[in-house]
Structure 1
Amino acid sequence: MTQINAYVGFNGDCRRAMEFYRDCIGGELTFQTVAESPIANQCAPSMKDSILHSSLTKDALLLMATDMTGPDGFIKGNNIALSLNCSSEDEINTFYSKLSAGGKILEPLKDSFWGSLFGCFTDKFGIMWMLNYDKGTANQQ
Structure 2
Amino acid sequence: MAQINAYLTFGGKCREAMNFYKESLGGELEFIVIEDSPMAQHFPAELQKSILHASLTKGDLMFMATDMIGPDGIVPGNNVALTITATSEEEMNDFFSALSLGGRVTHALEDFFAGRMGSLVDKFGIYWSVFYDINSGK
Range class of TM-score, shorter chain:
over 0.9
Letter in 2 for 1:63: F
Separation of aligned partners in 2, 1:74 and 1:108:
20
CA distance, structure 2, for counterparts of residue 46 and residue 90 of structure 1: 37
TM-score w.r.t. structure 2 length?
0.94
**Distance across 2 between alignment mates of 1:34 and 1:137:** 22
| Corresponding residue pairs, total | 138
Match in the other structure for 2:25: 25
Separation in 2, partners of 1:41, 1:117: 18
Q: CA deviation at 1:51?
A: 0.5
Structure 1 gap segments, 5+ residues each: none
Contact 2:7 2:65 in 1 (8 A): yes
CA distance in 2, matches of 1:78, 1:107: 14
In structure 2, distance between residues paired with 1:46 and 1:137: 32
What is the percentage of aligned positions where both structures have the same residue? Answer: 49
Deviations 1:39-77 (CA, angstroms, capped at 9, x unpaired): 222222111111100000100011100000011112233
Superposed, which structure 2 residues align to 1:75-86 within 5 Å?
75-86=75-86
Q: Aligned equivalents of 2:67 and 2:7: distance in 1?
A: 11
Paired amino acid for 2:127: M
Secondary structure (helix, strand or coil) at the match of 1:124 reads coil
Deviation at 1:38, TM superposition (A): 2.1
Equivalent residue, structure 2, for 1:65: 65
Q: Distance in 2 between matches of 1:41 and 1:93?
A: 27
Residue 38 of structure 1 corresponds to: 38
Counterpart-to-counterpart distance in 2, 1:135 and 1:45: 29
Provide the rounded CA distance (Å) in 2 between the counterparts of 1:43 and 1:135. Answer: 24
